[in-house]
Amino acid sequence: MVFAAGLGTRLRPLTDVLPKPAIPLLSRSLASYALERLVAAGVRRCAVNTHHLAPAVERAIAADAPPGLEIVTSHEPELLGTGGGLRRALERVGPTDEPILVMNGDILFWPDLEGALAHHRAIGALATMVLRRDPRAHRFGAIEADATGRVRRILGEPADVRASLATRMFTGVHVLSPEVVAALPERGCVIRLGYQRWLAQGRVIGGFDDPAPWRDLGTPAEYLRAHLDLLDGTFAWPGLTPPGGDVFLGAGARVDPGVTLARAVVWPETHVTESAHDAILAPHARVDVR
């Protein structure tokens, strides 16, 4: 499953007109990068949940989904939260006896899904969280795992764990056993109403460390930074060759004579009339030249 139902409030005003999963990242929609990674891991059927500007999400997915991938849309007239949305979407996909892979649709991340699956199976986990190092973990939501790769504490609970634990942050990527679908909440947060409850019940929760570069494209600054890093090769995506130079022009984009662009990305069908640098230019955008 790929999560694509969020409101994208941190990325406003872009998300007032385009849902975050449909916003272009270079030549294609952001959500298509998560779909590409899942297909590379062997996924052939994938649920995508929708809510905010749902038709735009569906159009973007239809245009950019990797070949051979069947998409099952799970529309939420009212947001169900990560737990409820996950449950409804997986119920729509139908029964399976294989592990289930889940990714957020607003991250740029090529996780080691094969390694996470192997770890999940090796420890007999009900669910496995793909984790990363981050010095801000305690501020934003610490996940703490022991030396065997089992999660022992989530968001500070339970407080009485005595083992030596490594503090990590959740990447938004899960491996779930098929039986977990019936244990998901009808509504609400998958962490608080799912993982924390399973941990309290003594179920095995895996924690798989992944050092691969990870980006949350949730704010305009992070969105711009990801583009610039892809342009100069600082952030590498498998199979994606940096466009060469420091300017990327989308299909149908036009740049007036005399206009100079540096470290810039131009969305498709955009007419650029003023010079700009360190910028993303979209249709109807104006460059402030004061």
Tell me how far apart the alpha carbons of residues 287 and 222 are, in angstroms, rounded to a whole number.
Answer: 20
Q: How confident is the model at residue 143 (pLDDT cuts 50, 70, 90)?
A: very high
**41 in a structural domain:** no
115 lies in the same domain as 200: yes
Establish if 159 belongs to a structural domain: yes
**Pair 178, 149 in one domain:** yes
In 136-257, which residue ranges form alpha helices assigned H by DSSP?
Answer: 137-140, 190, 196-200, 220-232
Q: Does the residue 20 lie in any domain?
A: no
* Max intra-chain CA distance, the chain: 67
**Residue 244 domain-assigned (yes or no):** yes
The pLDDT tens digits of the residues spanning 218-277 come to 888 898 888 888 888 888 888 777 666 788 888 888 888 999 998 888 888 888 888 888
- Is residue 139, in this structure, part of any structural domain at all? yes
User: Is 71 inside a domain boundary?
Assistant: no
Q: Does 181 lie in the same domain as 255?
A: no
State whether 156 and 227 are in the same domain.
no
Residue type, 24: P
From 165, 183, 212, give the residue that closes a domain.
212
Would you state the pLDDT for residue 58?
A: 93
Asked whether residue 57 is domain-assigned, the answer is: no
> Could you tell me the residue range of the domain that residue 178 belongs to?
111-212
- Report the alpha-carbon distance of residue 175 to residue 116 in Å, rounded: 7
The total number of structural domains in the chain stands at 2
119 and 207 part of one domain: yes
| 175 and 226 belong to one structural domain | no
Is 204 part of any domain? yes
Q: Are residues 250 and 225 in the same domain?
A: yes
261 and 208 part of one domain? no
Which of 159, 183, 212 is the last residue before a domain boundary? 212
Q: Burial level of 211, CB count in 10 A (0-12/13-18/19+)?
A: exposed
Cα–Cα distance between 270 and 138 in angstroms, integer?
A: 42
Among 185, 212, 239, the domain boundary falls at 212
Top pLDDT among 278 and 285 is at 278
pLDDT tier, 286 (very low <50, low <70, confident <90, very high otherwise) = low
pLDDT in tens, 82-136: 999 999 999 998 888 999 999 998 889 999 999 999 999 999 999 999 999 998 8
Q: What is the pTM of this model?
A: 0.90
**Pairwise pLDDT comparison (211 vs 281), residue with the higher score:** 211
Does residue 288 register a pLDDT over 70?
A: no
